[in-house]
Amino acid sequence: MSNVTSNRIAYYRYGGPDVLCWEPEELSAPGVGEVRIRQEMIGVNPVDWKMVAGYFRHTDRVPFPHVPGWAGTGVVEAVGTGVAHLHIGDPVIAGARGGAFREHLVVDASLVVSRPDSLSIEQAAGLPSSAVAGYSLVENLDVAAGDTLLVHGAAGSVGSAAVQVAVSRGAEVIGTASAGNHDYLRSLGAVAVEYGPGLLDSLRRHRPIDAVADAVGGRETVAVTREVLGTRGRAVTAWGDPHSDAAGIPWVRHPADELEQTVALAARGVVNVRIGATFPLARAVDALTFSQTGHPAGKILLVP
Ligand SMILES: NC(=O)c1ccc[n+]([C@@H]2O[C@H](COP(=O)([O-])OP(=O)(O)OC[C@H]3O[C@@H](n4cnc5c(N)ncnc54)[C@H](OP(=O)(O)O)[C@@H]3O)[C@@H](O)[C@H]2O)c1
């Protein structure tokens, strides 16, 4: 198995998206337990710009140069020793832990699952990290028929997956979003409410809420969660911060096997990723700048 010449997006210091650069690299053959993937599409997640900005510099310091990217899909082009479940030519989805913003990706095979024929390349690239987190929120809350679930940030990539999984389990779902996303939330089977100053009043008009999946975080959102649940109910967040910590709301960070379960749900049409915008990989600066707005109206994708 030979080396391959490729291109990647890398950064050499923390900062805004403009610290990213497009550069060539030489990738070696995959090592023990690894595969090399020729990537067809890459998913962008808010964690990408947050890592570039150094949000996790005190807990998960990265060695420079670092390559962003937690999601990709493509075709296996080389297999390291000790990998039995993947073969050259297999279409796959990778839930990487950083490093996916590159044309060819060498990755631990345990983070890679097969891409079902029924999934488009766009859908496949949109699943790792965000849709997996949405699934994981609902799973951790043990949402079932008869529950009323509030999803904060229901129109986002995490929240919309949580809505779809919870609806498929027979739960009543109330989702917060800005008015422009309310038709979208209704199309997923959720009741749409606007976030902001009137949120608590809107929620009081609905059934008592049993559980909250928070895909937003922050002081106001956590305060609403505590208010609607009182001393009862269950809550988890996809964005752990000092406010959710202080309120005792656990931060769900999904284990790798939940990628497989999320992919299976997507293959059955239970989870559908809304696609927001697509950029060439070389324009990752623009993609992360767009992600930073917090209102991308769908998954942002990169094409190598
Ligand atoms: N724990 C994990 O494993 C994991 C994995 C992936 C992501 N995350 C985190 O989860 C969060 C969401 O990620 P994402 O991929 O869903 O982001 P996204 O696709 O960019 O969506 C963000 C959403 O937040 C909504 N929003 C913004 N402010 C809001 C508010 N105050 N109340 C309610 N909704 C609000 C926006 O809705 P409008 O446009 O309608 O305003 C938008 O739909 C991020 O913090 C991300 O870092 C965690």
Q: What is the pLDDT of residue 3?
A: 83
143 and 223 share one domain: yes
User: Ligand 1: which residue has its CA nearest to atom 25?
Assistant: 153
237 lines ligand 1 (CB under 6 A): no
Alpha-carbon distance of 76 to 141, in angstroms, equals 35
Mean pLDDT of all residues in 282-299: 97
Residue with the bigger pLDDT between 8 and 3: it is: 8
Q: What is the pLDDT of residues 215-253, one digit of tens each?
A: 999 999 999 999 999 888 899 999 999 999 999 999 998
CA 218 / ligand 1 centre spacing (Å): 11
Q: What is the pLDDT of residues 133-163, one digit of tens each?
A: 999 999 999 999 999 999 999 999 999 999 9
Kindly calculate the radius of gyration of the chain based on its CA atoms and give it in whole angstroms. Answer: 19
SS3 assignment, position 77: strand
C-alpha distance across the termini of the chain, in Å: 22
Q: What is the pLDDT of residue 84?
A: 95
Amino acid at 162: A
Banded model confidence at residue 106, pLDDT cuts 50, 70, 90? very high
Question: Phi/psi at 93 (nearest 5 deg)?
Answer: -125, 135
Return the axis-axis angle of helices 132-141 and 257-267, rounded to nearest 10°.
Answer: 100
Alpha-carbon distance of 298 to 260, in angstroms, equals 22
Pairing label, strands 4-10, 191-193? unpaired
Q: What is the pLDDT of residue 1?
A: 56
68 and 166 share one domain: no
How many independent structural domains does the chain possess?
2
Placement of tokens 């989702």 in the chain = 175
124 and 259 share one domain: yes
pLDDT at residue 264 greater than cutoff 70: yes
Domain membership of residue 203 as a residue range: 132-246
pLDDT at residue 181 greater than cutoff 80: yes
81 and 182 share one domain: no
Banded model confidence at residue 129, pLDDT cuts 50, 70, 90? very high
Placement of tokens 């996809």 in the chain = 238
Alpha-carbon distance of 217 to 161, in angstroms, equals 17
Q: What are the structure tokens assigned to 276, written together?
A: 């927001």
Q: What is the pLDDT of residue 302?
A: 98
* The last residue of a domain, from among 246, 267, 285: 246
Q: What is the pLDDT of residue 150?
A: 98
Q: Rounded mean pLDDT of the chain?
A: 96
35 and 148 share one domain: no
SS3 assignment, position 139: helix
Alpha helices in 176-218 (DSSP H): 182-187, 199-204
Q: What is the pLDDT of residue 57?
A: 87
Check which CATH number belongs to the domain holding 178 and give it. Answer: 3.40.50.720
148 lines ligand 1 (CB under 6 A): no
299 and 193 share one domain: no
Task: Report whether 139 contacts 109 (CB < 8 A).
Answer: no
253 lines ligand 1 (CB under 6 A): yes
92 lines ligand 1 (CB under 6 A): no
